[in-house]
Amino acid sequence: MTAITIAEQNENIFKGTLSQLLAVFAGTLVAVSDGMHYGWTAPVLPILLKPDSPIKINKYEGEWLETSVMVGAFVGLWITMYFVDRLGRKKSILLATFVAALVWVAIGLQLRVEYIFVARAFAGAAGNMAFVATPMYIAEIAEHKIRGFLSSLIYLMMLCGIILVYTVVPLTPFYVHCVIGVCLTCTQLIIFPFMPESPYYLIYKGESERAGNNLEWFRSKKVDISKELENIKDAVARQKTEKGNLKDLFTVPSNRKGFLIMTAMNFAQHFAGISVLLMNLHIILEAAGSIYLQPNSAAVLFSIMMVSSACTASICIDKYGRKTLLILSCILTAVCLLVIAVYFNLKNCGFDTIQISWIPTVCVMLYACCFKIGLGMVPIVLTAELFSTKMKAYGMTLADGCYIVASLLSILIYQRLTDSLGMEYPFYLFSIICLLTAVFTHLYIPETKGKTLEEIQMILKGKL
């Protein structure tokens, strides 16, 4: 029996959810900081490579500035896996936010490039912890009717960070964006400690009374929480009887299915070309010979289009479901990438493309919308839904590790294919992978809209 009724579908899903919205907003400000780090090199490297740079670097050091975040995130996987269960979701988020604040201070001081390497590595580790602990926290405090919307907000905040760094860095002194990063993270450090810990986590730790008080805070005063609290207790009690070792992520069928889905989704995101486009947008548009939009303007417009699409997805995800948005996104993204590939194919074959040089620019902007409506948003929602309480730390952390590996591989493959064969070939590859992802989604991924976390576990076990 599903947890959602026709009456619930027709009511205002935001009714009585103000406390949940407040907690999620307070807990995701660090995602804005993480988005600033993710997009940081695009506007910053051209400044640092200039003769009047505040910190002298060479091209090789610039490449390390790009990859140091990913290296730090990968190293931080094991720390994240340990802390989210030992410290709890809330304290892990606060720890990640504190580290992120120190990182912006270190970058803003502009002492030496070696310090920035280390700072960005710590930024990667902090971002990894935040993007594991925060979706966990959100999924465990949210009502099922609004869980998809709330879970998608962390990505929306990250996109706001990308826009922020793209617009602020070219127009202001170097230290300004660092001050903004410190202000954001310090605001979270001031507000978020007043938010309650996850009731799921507290019940898992045997603190039932405190869990009940926290659940009551997250729900409307008119709602009787006794039934929901008992359901959470029953779900956690059942899940605690299951094995909870790292190897069980691969040997238990339901855990293995959840991990396979998240691995596929994380690889699909990057092999749909998102990291390649975010980090090489200027180069791609210049190679296309586009005369209609300057690279800096294109980067800002690209990020604005992503945010707009992400806002639409966050509203639609609990209404139309995860699978519908994913399949639609995969197909439309594949079309955008295919058109870009065909354009470069024609250009490299000697065709005069100057009159149609607007096509890649338009397709890149359409790509931003199509990607974020599903592929760019749904995986972060699923990652907090598919693992049981006992396996969340292992499953979500290793899934995040797959995300990092996929990002590095997609960039490497793009560079190798472009250098050896031509720029059209990686886009052909990305288009094919998007279509395969649509098929995978249709055949393998369960619809989790309107389901409780316990019902989702039963679906993965084949009992619903």
How confident is the model over 289-300, as pLDDT tens digits?
766 677 667 777
d(CA 374, CA 387): 20
Q: Tell me: the pLDDT tens digits for 185-233?
A: 999 999 999 999 999 889 988 888 898 999 889 987 667 788 888 888 8
Give 446's DSSP letter. Answer: P
Q: What pLDDT was estimated at residue 301? A: 86
Q: Which residue matches tokens 């990640």?
A: 96
**CB within 8 A of 247, min separation 6: which ones?**
none
Q: What pLDDT was estimated at residue 6? A: 36
Ranges of the chain whose pLDDT falls below 70: 1-13, 221-222, 242-244, 282, 290-292, 295-296, 464
Is residue 149 within 8 Å of residue 96, measured between CB atoms?
A: no
Q: Tell me: the pLDDT tens digits for 245-304?
A: 778 888 888 888 988 998 999 899 999 988 888 777 767 777 777 666 776 677 778 888
Superfamily of domain 16-195: MFS general substrate transporter like domains (1.20.1250.20)
Q: At what angle do helices 113-141 and 89-109 cross, to 10 degrees?
A: 160
Phi, psi of 145 (to 5 degrees): -70, -20
CATH 1.20.1250.20 domain range(s) in the chain? 16-195, 243-464
Superfamily of domain 243-464: MFS general substrate transporter like domains (1.20.1250.20)
Q: What pLDDT was estimated at residue 5? A: 41
Q: What is the dihedral of CA 157, 160, 161, 165, to 10 degrees?
A: 180
Q: Is 374 helix (H, G, I), strand (E, B) or coil?
A: coil
Q: At what angle do helices 295-320 and 41-48 cross, to 10 degrees?
A: 160
**CB within 8 A of 185, min separation 6: which ones?**
29, 30, 33, 97, 98, 100, 101, 104
pTM above 0.85, yes or no: no
